[in-house]
Amino acid sequence: MHYAKLLTAAAVGTVFAAGTAIAQDKSLTIVSWGGAYTASQVEAYHKPYAKKTGVKIKSEDYNGGIAQIKAQVKSGKVTWDIVDVELADAIRACDEGILETIDASTLPKGADGTPAKDDFISGTLHDCAVANIIWSTIYAYDDTKIKGDKPKTMSDFFDTKKFPGKRGMRKNPKINLEFALIADGVAAKDVYKVLETKEGVDRAFKKLDTIKKDIVWWEAGAQPPQLLADGQVVMTTAYNGRIFNAVAKEKKPFVIVWDGQGWDIDLWVIPKGAPNKDTAMDFLKFSTATEQLANQAKYIAYAPARKSSVALVGKYQDGKIDMGPQMPTAPANFKNSFQNNFEFWADRSDELTKRFNTWLAK
C-alpha cells in the first residue's frame, strides 16, 4: 500500500504548506551520525524536502555530544542549522540555553488528524527538541565465528571464558555501565536504581574490569560492523540499525542479541543563532510528519516516533524484509530492555565521564 494513499488531503497540505514558502536559494546544513543512519535520513527526508522546496542541503557527520554546538553558539559563529542528538544531550543543551525553543503546536498533525502532542509517543517532544526515531544499543556477533552454543544474554557478552575473543564497546560510560550491571545480574528495569548509588557505580566498573583487556573501543556508529567484518572482535555493542544494515544490505552473517538492550530516542535540535533558522524549522516539521517518519523505516531498523507512522511501516527497500519485527520496540525484542534515563545522564554525565576516562588511563 502506498503511504500517500493513507494520508488525508488535509494532512498532506499541512506537511508541505510551509515548505512551499521557503525561498529557492536557501541552504541548510544538517548534522547527523553518518553511515547507514544518515543515508536513511537522506532518502526519507533530505531528498524529498530538497525536491519540494529547492533548498540546497549540506550533510555533515559528527560523533555526538554538545561540545561543538556549545562552541559555535558561544563564539557567535554558528554554522550548523539542525542537528540530530541523543535525548540526554538535548536536555542538557536546552538547559544551557544553546538551542532554539520549538513550539509543538506548530508541528504537523498526524495522518488521521491527531494533534502532534498526542500523536508523538510519550516523552519524545521537548521544549527544544523533536524526536524522529527510537533506536537501541544492542550487541551482535558474527555467526560464522562462534561455533556451538551462541550468545543469548548480556552476561554472555562479558563471558570471555565461554566465548573467547575481543569485544567492541563505545568509548563512553553511557550504556557500558548499564550493560555491565545487567551482565552482573541486575534486571534491566532496575538498572538505574542500582546505578544511582555509589556501590552500583563501583559494581559496574568492577564488571567492566573483567573484560577491560579484551575491549576494542569505537566512537563512530559505522565502526562496530566493520570491526566484526574485519574479525577484530567476536562481539561488539552497536546501534541496532547499523547491524541490520550490514545484514540486509551487505549480507553479513551478523546476529543481534536483544537481551538487555538499551533503547533511546534521537531528536532534531536547532542551535541558538542558526544561520538558516526558519528553513531549519520548516525542515524539522517536514521530516517529523507521519509519512516521512514511516518512510525512514524502509531504509534502517529504527522505529518512528509518531504513533500514526507505525501502521505505515512496511518492508525494507528491497521489498523482501518485513521491517516490523526488526524494530527495537517489537514485542519479542523488548522483553528485557531499559530506556536510557536522560535525567540521570544529564545530571551525572560529567562526573561519570571523568571517572570513565580515569579508568581508561589506568
Fold match flag (3-134+265-326 vs 137-263+342-361): yes
Per-residue pLDDT tens for 300-339? Answer: 999 999 999 988 899 998 888 999 889 998 888 988 999 9
Per-residue pLDDT tens for 49-79? Answer: 999 999 999 999 999 999 999 999 999 999 9
| pLDDT score of 82 | 98
Residue 95 has pLDDT above 60, yes or no: yes
Q: Are 324 and 301 in contact (CB under 8 A)?
A: no
Q: What is the pTM (predicted TM-score) of this model? A: 0.77
SS3 353: helix
| pLDDT score of 122 | 86
Long-range contacts of 291-296 (CB under 8 A, 24+ apart): 291/3, 291/4, 291/7, 291/15, 291/111, 292/15, 292/44, 292/45, 292/48, 293/44, 293/132, 293/133, 294/3, 295/3, 295/43, 295/44, 296/40, 296/41, 296/43, 296/44, 296/45, 296/132, 296/133
Over residues 188-217, mean pLDDT: 98
| pLDDT score of 265 | 94
CA atoms within 13 A on the CB side of 224: 31
- Region of residue 157 (phi > 0: left; psi between -120 and 50: alpha; otherwise: beta): alpha
Domain 137-263+342-361: CATH architecture, name and number where available:
3-Layer(aba) Sandwich (3.40)
Q: Name the more confident of 343 and 212.
A: 212
Per-residue pLDDT tens for 233-290? Answer: 999 999 999 999 999 999 999 999 999 999 999 999 999 999 999 999 999 999 999 9
159's CB contacts (< 8 A; 6+ apart) are none
Structure confidence at residue 9 as a pLDDT band (50, 70, 90): very low
| pLDDT score of 8 | 30
| pLDDT score of 25 | 60
| pLDDT score of 310 | 86
Per-residue pLDDT tens for 22-47? Answer: 544 689 999 999 988 999 999 999 99
| pLDDT score of 342 | 85
| pLDDT score of 324 | 87
Residue carrying C-alpha cell 515548505: 19
Distance from C-alpha of 322 to C-alpha of 225, rounded to nearest angstrom: 22
Distance from C-alpha of 167 to C-alpha of 161, rounded to nearest angstrom: 13
Q: Name the more confident of 52 and 4.
A: 52
What percentage of the chain reaches a pLDDT higher than 70? Answer: 93
Per-residue pLDDT tens for 150-177? Answer: 999 999 999 999 999 999 999 999 999 9
Q: What are phi and psi of 167, to 5 degrees?
A: -120, 135
Residue 1 has pLDDT above 90, yes or no: no
| pLDDT score of 184 | 98
Q: Which fold has domain 3-134+265-326?
A: D-Maltodextrin-Binding Protein; domain 2 (3.40.190)
| pLDDT score of 115 | 97
| pLDDT score of 24 | 47
| pLDDT score of 35 | 87
| pLDDT score of 10 | 33
The ranges assigned to domains in the chain are 3-134+265-326, 137-263+342-361
Show the cell assigned to 309. 507512522
Structure confidence at residue 99 as a pLDDT band (50, 70, 90): very high
